[in-house]
Homo-oligomer: A and B are copies of this chain.
Amino acid sequence: MCLLLRVNIIVRRCTILPVGQGQLIDHGLIAIKDGMIIYVGKQDDAPRFEADKVIDGHRKVAMPGLVNCHTHVAMSIFRGIAEDLELDKWLKETIWPLEAKLKPMDVYRGALLSCLEMIKNGITCFSDMYFHEDVVARAVKESGLRAVLAPGIIEAGDPERGQKMLDESISIAKSYHGYAGGRVTTQIGPHTAYTCSLDLLKKVCEAASSLKVGLHIHLAESRDAASIVKKLYGRGEVDLLSDMGFLGPDVLAAHCTQLSQEDIELLAESNVKVAYCPVANMKLASGICRAKELLDAGMTVGLGTDGPASNNTLDMFETMKFATLLQKTLYMDPRVLPAKRVLEMATMDGARALGIDEAAGSLEIGKKADLILIDVDKPHLTPMHDLYASLVYAARGSDVDTTIVDGKILMENRKVKTLDEDEVIEKGRETALDLISR
């Protein structure tokens, strides 16, 4: 008599790129039970499984789902609304006036639209900073994705507003930490060092510390941002935040395009995590994050798409390609940030940056089953002399065939199962048109 191990899903006959400690596996098998990976390895070495669902992974590559470390998902409804403009003008003349009119239902529909796009692009986890994160949480719950949500705080010279936003943030961070079966965790998201006062930032730190959640902030995003802080405080953003005790291992700092050598040392010492967003940084001409030097300094650097209004997509394959090509260009050296390293940044390092690396970021026994299958039977992925290069330099979101999060199939054969694609697109379109007509 032969003992069969009962599991929920097996993916068979696939090439597996586990990331982390694991080596590339040909003819591999992955077994998933109760949302967890219970086997990843050679198919021939696997125990015998009896599965509720068998996925044939022939001519597919299985890899960890991509982790998008910095975005504002609701901004999908602003996609393309103000293009080829300076960041300051873009924010003040278009985005902020529209955001003032935003209702929770707009945020919900924009977030759902982005969740749909991310599932289709193989992103299994994202880190968001925006208003009304409670309805973003609802979209995350329905879509089946994993997310770290940071309610954003913009004081903008109005301490009463600042306190109110902090109170709301605390309330949301409390209520939604562990939401949707643990798929949602929370952070607090002070927008920047110049849109929040030092007083408020101190309170933010205290709140985060007492709630045991992290912080998500835009840091040294652009030359303009740097010069505003310089004007306000006579010093640099990193220096300022370091001195007030803001920086620490639970801080996720997005962008970081304006760092001095001293700043890098301060950030590395504090073990701050960085979200490098090359596409948005280039599109808004904000500057270039010296990601190579941050990595050399031993820092954790994840990748982010930034919001869909400043990118204009949520495609982490594209972001991986931009991420390394921009570093090669900055350092005038094609050897910088090789494909394998970029792939780690987009998965394992991203999970580490969000504090969820024990659960996600690689395909390992005992981790959550957050994984994607790439269909490699495509002309642009042929031949495949180098799997890492194919994934980073040639693949794109539309090559993702299957997306699994927490052991649940969110997309199979490019059909999304958790959301009604046509309806989400239609409602997103309606919401966008309605918003600009208000």
Contact = CB atoms under 8 A, between A and B. Distances in A.
A244 interface: no
A382 B325 contact: no
A77 interface: yes
A310 to B, nearest CB: 9
Contacts of A223: 332
Given A313-B380, A332-B287, A394 B84 contact: no
A313 B384 CA distance: 12
Contacts of A78: 385
Contacts of A422: 377
B393 A312 contact: yes
Contacts of A77: 383
A81 interface: yes
A344 to B, nearest CB: 14
A83 B318 contact: no
Given A283-B328, A285-B333, A312-B389, A117 B80 contact: no
A325 B282 contact: yes
Contacts of A101: none
A300 B319 CA distance: 30
A410 to B, nearest CB: 13
Interface of A: 76-81, 83-87, 90, 113-114, 116-117, 120-121, 223, 279, 281-285, 287-288, 308, 311-315, 318, 321-322, 325-326, 328-329, 331-336, 338-339, 377-380, 382-386, 388-390, 393-394, 396-399, 421-422, 424-425, 428-429, 432-433, 436
Q: Which 9 A-B pairs have the closest CB atoms?
A: A383-B432, A398-B398, A282-B325, A80-B386, A117-B379, A80-B389, A84-B338, A312-B393, A80-B385
